[in-house]
Amino acid sequence: MARPFTPKVITANDLLEGDVIYFKADNSWTRELAQAELIVDEAEAQLRLLEAEKQNISIVGAYLADAKAGENGPEPVHFREDFRRKGPSNYSHGKQEAAAHV
């Protein structure tokens, strides 16, 4: 039996900056996972990924990543996506650095 579909977000890296970006419901990109579109339907996920890939001129390597609904929006399921959301653990660089400057 096929595994049940789990919710997803679409994520990629920005072409120029190289940093992690997430696809929003309005077809734009955000740097914050919480603002990403959480996709709960499998067929819809494939269509949204095709939509995101239309912007391949300015993004790199879009893919569907497991996510779950949280209080403030989507949250990561796997620790890899958690690191992508925050940055490395040895320095306060990456997204956690930007967040600290707000």
Partner 1 sequence: MYKYNAFDEAFLAERNAQFRAQVARRIDGSLTEDEFKPLRLMNGVYLQLHAYMLRVAIPYGTLNSAQMRALALLAEKWDKGYGHFTTRQNIQYNWPKLNDIPDMLDALGEVGLHAIQTSGNTIRNTTADHFAGAAADELTDPRPYAELIRQWSTDHPEFQFLGRKFKIGITGSPNDRAVVKAHDVGLRMVEKDGEIGFEVIVGGGLGRTPMVGKVIRDFLPQPDLLPYLESVLSVYNVLGRRDNKYKARIKITVQENGIEKIRELVEARFEERRHEFDGTDQQLLTDIKTHFTPPALRAGPTEAYEAAYEADPVFRAWADTNLAEHRDAAHAIVTISIKKHGATPGDATAEQMRVMAALAEELGYDELRISHQQNVILPHVHKNDLPAIHARLKENGLATANIGLISDIIACPGMDYCALATARSIPVAQEIATRFEALKLEHDIGHLQIKISGCINACGHHHVAHIGILGLDRAGVENYQITLGGDATETAAIGKRTGPGFAYDEIVPAVERLVDAYMGLRSDESETFLETYRRLGMVPFKSALYPEAQKKVA
Q: Give residues in contact with partner 1 (CB under 8 A).
A: 13, 15-20, 56-57, 60-61, 77-80, 83-84, 87-91, 93-95
Q: Cα dihedral sign for 74, 43, 20, 23?
A: negative
Distance CA 34, CA 32 (A): 5
Distance CA 29, CA 88 (A): 22
Q: How far is the CB of 77 from partner 1 (least distance, A)?
A: 7
Q: Which two tokens stand for residue 71?
A: 């209080």
- Helix, strand, coil proportions of the chain in percent (round to 5)? 30, 30, 40
Q: How far is the CB of 85 from partner 1 (least distance, A)?
A: 10
Closer residue to partner 1 in complex, CB, 1/16: 16
Closer residue to partner 1 in complex, CB, 19/42: 19
Closer residue to partner 1 in complex, CB, 25/98: 98
Closer residue to partner 1 in complex, CB, 7/94: 94
Task: Provide the pairing of β-strand 73-76 with 59-70.
Answer: antiparallel
Q: How far is the CB of 43 from partner 1 (least distance, A)?
A: 25
